[in-house]
Amino acid sequence: MIKTLDKQGYVKICGIQNVRHAIVAAQAGSDALGFVLAPSRRRVDASLVVEVREHLTRIGKSPRLVAVVVNEHEDALREIVELAQPDVVQLSGDEEPGVLSTIDATVCRTIRVPHGSSFDRVQGMIDPWLDHDNPVEAVLFESYSSGHFGGTGKVADWELAARLAETYPVILAGGLTPENIMSGIDTVHPYGVDVSSGVETDGIKDPDRIRLFVDRADHAFQAMT
């Protein structure tokens, strides 16, 4: 397996729900902004992606805009890509690799890893998404929580993630915060990190926590080089 991301040190702020927080994250130096287009308390309409892009263009910022979807029908996926024109589609449900042939966009795959999973088991979850004519560019590694498709704040298995990151393009997610991000990057050496609830206060994105997370993540990635 070959790592496919061009840049190690990728920082994504997910669960963006308005233009103001998108601008805060972009100005803080985030490489990507995630918009949840699936049932969730953070769910937004695809039109927000378009609106955010317009505002960011005006201020000269261009983080990648990521449409996070869960178990969408192929027709709905095509409609999302056509309307929102995201830079990346993040598949975060129970999709099968065959769907890659129908998506006209760069794709990232969320791998929700049950506690106690073996390295071989997780390899089996990842390989079909990379052994494809249109492979995903990265796999987002987070803990499995029954009945949830992400955003739970549950810390992932960093030891297992570190082993996988030696071979795969891993984006570490799950339970990351400004308080633990430097340790997480130092332990896992991922290609990137993804945060949502960890930069919230009372369930709302907190500009100060966003800035602190991005700053500390950047410092931790720089220390790896």
> pLDDT tens, 133-177?
999 999 999 987 655 455 556 788 999 999 999 999 999 999 999
Residue 3: inside a domain: no
pLDDT given for residue 149 in this prediction: 52
Residue 70: inside a domain: yes
Low-confidence ranges of the chain (pLDDT < 50): 1-4, 148
Residue 5: inside a domain: no
Residue 2: inside a domain: no
Residue 203: inside a domain: yes
What domain count does the chain have? 1
* C-alpha to C-alpha distance for 224 and 181, rounded to whole angstroms: 13
For the chain, the residue count is: 225
Task: Determine the 3-state secondary structure of 157 from DSSP.
Answer: coil
Q: What is the pTM of this model?
A: 0.93
Average pLDDT score over the chain? 92
Q: Check if the beta carbon of residue 34 is closer than 8 Å to that of residue 15.
A: yes
* C-alpha to C-alpha distance for 129 and 141, rounded to whole angstroms: 13
Torsions phi, psi for 159 (to 5 deg): -65, -45
Task: Determine the 3-state secondary structure of 57 from DSSP.
Answer: helix
pLDDT given for residue 3 in this prediction: 39
Nearest CA among 26, 88, 109 for reference residue 60: 26
pLDDT given for residue 224 in this prediction: 87
Task: Determine the 3-state secondary structure of 139 from DSSP.
Answer: strand
Residue 203's CATH number = 3.20.20.70
Residue 1: inside a domain: no
Q: Which domain holds residue 207?
A: 10-224
